[in-house]
Amino acid sequence: MIEVVDGQRQLNACKRIVVKIGSSLLTANGQGLDLDAISHWAMQIADLHTAGHEIILVSSGAVAEGMVRMKLTSRPTDLPSLQACAAIGQMGLIHTWSSVLEKHHIQTAQVLLTHDDLADRRRYLNSCDALQNLIDWRVIPVINENDTVSTDEIRFGDNDTLAAMVAGQVHADLLIILTDQQGMFDSDPRSNPDAKLLTEVRALDDSLFEMAGGGGVLGRGGMVTKVRAARLAAKSGCPTLIASGESDRVLSRLMSGEMLGTLFSTDKDRMTAHQQWLAAHLQTAGRLIIDDGAVEAIKERHRSLLPVGVKAVEGHFDRGDVVECVDKSGKRIAVGRVNFSSQSADIIKGLASDKVYQVLGEARSLEMIHRNHMAIY
């Protein structure tokens, strides 16, 4: 939970942050990408990066840039034209981000995802591995939806949802959605001049949808998609801040604790929420019998399960499936996403970590189950 002390949000513990910036903040009134605006964002992102934060950037603007490059006066309505615009504009979008952040000696990486990538287990795990390596290398991933291969109609609000899914995927401490609105109001400020800005709401409060409105010219997202995104992030235990990107130095001010925008709080902390999600919503595909040392490491020290602590493997499962960990008496100790198939797990059970590569030839992970993907009983 994010506390407020002396009128300041306490965000010091938020190290890994997903930042989503909307089209209206990156384009010059629809006339393509605004280099000055993006340079301004790059400076703020660089400040957070230098301060030790791990930044994952979700950037809109590809379709808007593609429209300008193709001299289109209105947003296409058919899917192939939208996809073509996105493909053309993505070239300019990623080049711009790369060039402005490079001035701050920050490397960037283009990551294009679809919702199918995050729904499919294998693709999800592969993208998890890639993103984690980029973060470890202090590279800032610049993420956008892979509109060219999307099967659904491209919507402006999709990147809000994508940002929330990425926040859950990388176990972010905070999701910041920057928009042209100040935050969440108790009613539509465009029709009610007395509408009040809410400084904090409960993300899973159903009444929030009644307060949300529609979208604008370049996009059709509005506050509704942002509320949905905040709810999705909250289910992974990640709080969301929605604030106006038009406020001066908004990222720095938000992270210093200033009460800008609206905080969508979670009911539980990240680990508890993630544990409940694993424990309550996923069936186990197999079983790992673990020794007393592994039981102690997991329960007392909240450590990952290593192959050396596995005594036996039961069932048939693939990498990424959820399995249960039990002690020698059969008592359930934990459940989690396993990093090896049952065949590989059976081969490396009982082995020290430095032997895993030698036996399998390659391995994406040294942990049988990482502690971030484990629910402890």
Tell me what pLDDT residue 282 has. 42
Q: Note the helical H segments in the chain.
A: 35-50, 62-69, 79-102, 115-119, 121-136, 158-169, 208-211, 222-235, 250-255, 270-281, 292-299, 342-348, 353-360
**60 is annotated as contributing to ligand binding:** yes
Lowest mean pLDDT of 178-187, 189-198, 210-219, 220-229, name the range: 210-219
Could you tell me which residue, 209 or 333, shows the higher pLDDT?
333
**147 is annotated as contributing to ligand binding:** yes
Q: What is the Cα–Cα distance from 73 to 62, expressed in whole angstroms?
A: 15
Tell me what pLDDT residue 280 has. 45
Chain region(s) in the chain for CATH 2.30.130.10: 282-376
Lowest mean pLDDT of 62-71, 268-277, 285-294, name the range: 268-277
Is the per-residue pLDDT at 211 higher than 90? no
What's the whole-number average pLDDT of the chain? 86
Q: pLDDT by residue (tens digit) across 45-74?
A: 999 999 999 999 999 889 889 999 999 988
**180 is annotated as contributing to ligand binding:** yes
Q: What is the pTM of this model?
A: 0.73
Once rounded to an integer, what is the mean pLDDT over residues 313-340?
A: 92
Chain region(s) in the chain for CATH 3.40.1160.10: 4-270
Fold observed for domain 4-270: Carbamate kinase (3.40.1160)
Residue of 82, 91, 81, 112 whose CA lies nearest to 33: 91
Q: Does domain 282-376 have CATH number 2.30.130.10?
A: yes
pLDDT level of residue 217 (50, 70, 90 thresholds) = very low
The percentage of residues in the chain with a pLDDT greater than 70, rounded to a whole number, is: 89
